[in-house]
């Protein structure tokens, strides 16, 4: 059979037109087209959530966050996307980076935390048995002016050592009005929602956390605790404010005395060997006058003492507060006999074995009335739920 005839029959028997050669009906997709398509995903996220993507979301949201962050830093690509940027997402000014704290705070991908782990390789994160209704994310704090002075005062207190930074040890340390440092950024717990227990009996609550950089988040208490365990610190309370509930003290308020915490300078081996040994006491006179003859007083273990902290008490019964603290730490009371200069035996009852930050936390719980929900574990030296 003739070859041309055979080819004609083949083409004639192609009912689906598979052998037809068609010219391209649309131009090739360019790099700009692909860039616009990628940015439309960010627009779609903004339309669906009413906010720009955040690093605190799931993996897909983190990818969109990183993409948007990169685009904002590339002027040439911003020009290409000018017509597509209908929500003005590319015109947000980047944060000014001028100090070490700014660098740490801007480390959204956690690059400075480790140089060996993948950013999506989540390790040492406990599995939640029940998921929250939504994932908390940071957003601008619209009433930041109400909190700005608190951050200024706290930074001043830290600079003058009125406040101290301590390791974060347990969830009970998170309470309304407390400050923490998370990844180099100071945060303030402005509100604590209703505490609810999960199926394992563990309590959780929705918080309102204000950050020094003018943002806020409504993360869960246990989520904040998990972050503070990994990369956070606790800021101690202001000594002059702890016992007056942060109220405004005026001339009409009555100062009723001082609660003080002391440590011993004893050279006796049996005393020096005891870690976290503190005296919790009450005084109506200046502490200097109270302790000036400590080395002659069995109450002070017949040795000089060091002032650790003191709290001025207004409009309250300091003796009752002192008794509550003694009852709370009763199981950790120092049991030792001390002999005075005449050979008489004494058993001081105001010395307790407990970490300083735990003592401070117990005072805060007494003020809020939450002390009834907790107990002090002498073995672990921690405050625990009853």
235, 257, 276 - which closes a domain: 235
pLDDT computed for residue 257 by the predictor: 79
Give the C-alpha separation, 312 to 242, whole Å.
8
Instruction: Please check whether residue 259 is in contact with residue 313, taking contact to mean a CB–CB distance below 8 angstroms.
Output: yes
End-to-end CA distance of the chain: 99
Cα 316 to Cα 243, 250, 285, 324, 333: the distances in Å are 9, 15, 16, 13, 25
Q: What angle do CA 123, 127, 129 make, to 5 degrees?
A: 175
pLDDT computed for residue 92 by the predictor: 58
pLDDT computed for residue 131 by the predictor: 40
Which residue ranges in the chain fall short of pLDDT 70?
1-5, 7-29, 92-136, 198-201, 238-254, 315-316, 367-369
CA 386 to chain centre: 24
Mark whether 247 and 339 lie in a shared domain: yes
Does 171 fall in a domain?
Answer: yes
pLDDT computed for residue 72 by the predictor: 85
186, 207, 235 - which closes a domain: 235
Give per-residue pLDDT as tens, 276-323. Answer: 999 988 888 888 888 989 999 999 999 999 988 887 777 667 777 778
**59-72 and 31-49 are packed helices; what angle lies between their axes, rounded to 10 degrees?**
120
pLDDT computed for residue 201 by the predictor: 64
pLDDT, the chain, mean: 77
Does 18 fall in a domain?
Answer: no
pLDDT computed for residue 236 by the predictor: 81
Instruction: Please check whether residue 262 is in contact with residue 211, taking contact to mean a CB–CB distance below 8 angstroms.
Output: no
Does 347 fall in a domain?
Answer: yes
Give per-residue pLDDT as tens, 49-90. Answer: 888 888 777 777 878 888 888 888 887 788 888 888 888 888
Cα 136 to Cα 53, 55, 61, 119, 337: the distances in Å are 12, 11, 13, 19, 55
Residue with tokens 């030296």: 381
25, 56, 90 - which closes a domain: 90
Residue 76: which domain range?
A: 37-90
Structural domains counted in the chain: 3
pLDDT computed for residue 117 by the predictor: 44
Mark whether 197 and 279 lie in a shared domain: no
pTM beyond 0.75: no
């Amino acid at each position: 059979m003739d070859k041309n005839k055979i080819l004609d029959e083949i083409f004639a028997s192609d009912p689906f037109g598979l052998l037809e050669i068609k010219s391209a009906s649309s131009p090739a997709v360019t790099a700009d087209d692909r860039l616009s398509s990628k940015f439309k995903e960010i627009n779609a996220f903004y339309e669906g959530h009413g906010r720009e993507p955040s690093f605190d979301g799931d993996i897909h949201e983190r990818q969109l966050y990183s993409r948007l962050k990169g685009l904002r830093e590339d002027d040439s690509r911003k020009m290409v996307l000018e017509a597509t940027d209908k929500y003005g997402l590319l015109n947000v000014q980047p944060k000014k980076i001028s100090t070490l704290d700014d660098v740490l705070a801007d480390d959204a991908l956690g690059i400075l935390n480790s140089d060996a782990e993948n950013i999506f390789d989540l390790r040492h994160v406990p599995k939640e048995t029940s998921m929250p209704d939504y994932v908390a994310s940071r957003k601008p704090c619209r009433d930041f002016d109400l909190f700005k002075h608190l951050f200024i005062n706290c930074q001043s207190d830290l600079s003058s050592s009125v406040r101290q930074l301590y390791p974060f040890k347990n969830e009970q340390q998170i309470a309304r009005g407390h400050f923490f440092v998370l990844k180099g950024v100071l945060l303030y717990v402005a509100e604590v929602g209703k505490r609810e227990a999960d199926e394992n009996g563990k309590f959780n609550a929705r918080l309102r956390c204000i950050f020094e950089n003018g943002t806020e988040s409504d993360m869960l208490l246990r989520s904040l605790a998990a972050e503070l365990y990994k990369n956070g610190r606790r800021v101690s309370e202001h000594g002059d404010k702890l016992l007056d509930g942060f109220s405004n003290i005026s001339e009409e308020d009555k100062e009723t005395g001082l609660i003080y915490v002391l440590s011993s300078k004893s050279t006796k081996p049996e005393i020096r060997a005891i870690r976290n040994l503190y005296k919790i006491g009450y005084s109506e006179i200046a502490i200097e006058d109270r302790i000036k003859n400590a080395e002659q007083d069995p109450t002070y273990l017949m040795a000089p003492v060091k002032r650790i902290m003191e709290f001025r008490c207004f409009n309250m019964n300091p003796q009752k507060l002192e008794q509550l603290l003694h009852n709370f730490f009763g199981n950790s009371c120092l049991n030792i006999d001390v002999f005075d200069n005449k050979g008489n035996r004494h058993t001081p009852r105001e010395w307790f074995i407990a970490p300083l930050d735990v003592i401070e936390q117990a005072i805060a719980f007494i003020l809020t009335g939450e002390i009834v929900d907790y107990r002090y574990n002498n073995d672990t030296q921690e405050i625990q739920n009853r």
